[in-house]
Amino acid sequence: MDRLRHGAGAQMTELIVVGDDRESDDAARRETCERNPWGMDLSDQHVYLQIAAERLSIVRYVYLVQIEDGIATAAQRASLEYADAVLIGWPENDASDLVTLGDDQMKMVHAQMREMEEYIAKFRAMEVKNDLEGMTDVLIRVTERVAEVRRAFQPRFLLPTFAEIRRVVQAEWDEDMGRIDIEAGADGEQVRQETLEEAAGDGDGDNQ
């Protein structure tokens, strides 16, 4: 949780423009320098996978703590199960089915990681306000970014979409709620019958 609080909102890439007149007479050359908020060696592409998994795991844990005392709504259940589905079987950095990405693909990964951190910053602010509805939506957004990172590096591992998870969870939730309603109705009818029987017994006693 501390890692979430200390790292939340730190964007993965900060673009720093550097002029270099030594390389060109026509115009200053520009280059991009990355700022590394995680303090990890990013020379291995697959480290981004590790970072993404750790960040999502922390967000998921913080969210779970927030909702565990109540009865989770269908949306809350679905957001948690979506995060679980994306994290399940997470590969090690040296897994044989991971691929090496080209420059364009790495730009996409950088963008997804940056957006992930931006959403984590929003999640942190919502946590302070106890905005569970907002946290639910942001957990989904964080998970979507992490899923894209995993798809890039592990393309043969099929991941579900949130819509697919939501349909299944909604059906299960509706079934659970229907069962609760039936049980509540049965309990209410039992109480009514017991009340009537007690009233009838009291009436018999009075007549005697």
Of 57-71, 169-183, 190-204, which gets the smallest average pLDDT? 190-204
Cα distances (Å, whole numbers) of residue 183 to 123, 134, 175: 37, 32, 12
Q: What is the pLDDT of residues 34-60, one digit of tens each?
A: 467 787 888 899 999 999 999 999 999
Q: Where residue 11 falls among pLDDT bands split at 50, 70, 90?
A: very low
Mean of the pLDDT values across residues 110-135? 95
Q: Where residue 80 falls among pLDDT bands split at 50, 70, 90?
A: very high
Q: Tally Cβ neighbours within 10 Å of residue 197.
A: 10
pLDDT at residue number 33: 36
Residue 78 predicted with pLDDT over 90:
yes
The conformational region for residue 35 under phi > 0 = left, psi -120 to 50 = alpha, else beta, is beta
pLDDT at residue number 43: 87
Write out the two tokens for 112.
């997804």
Mean of the pLDDT values across residues 67-72? 86
Cα distances (Å, whole numbers) of residue 160 to 48, 82, 147: 21, 8, 9
Largest CA distance in the chain: 117
**Average pLDDT over the chain, rounded to an integer:** 79
Q: Tally Cβ neighbours within 10 Å of residue 122.
A: 18
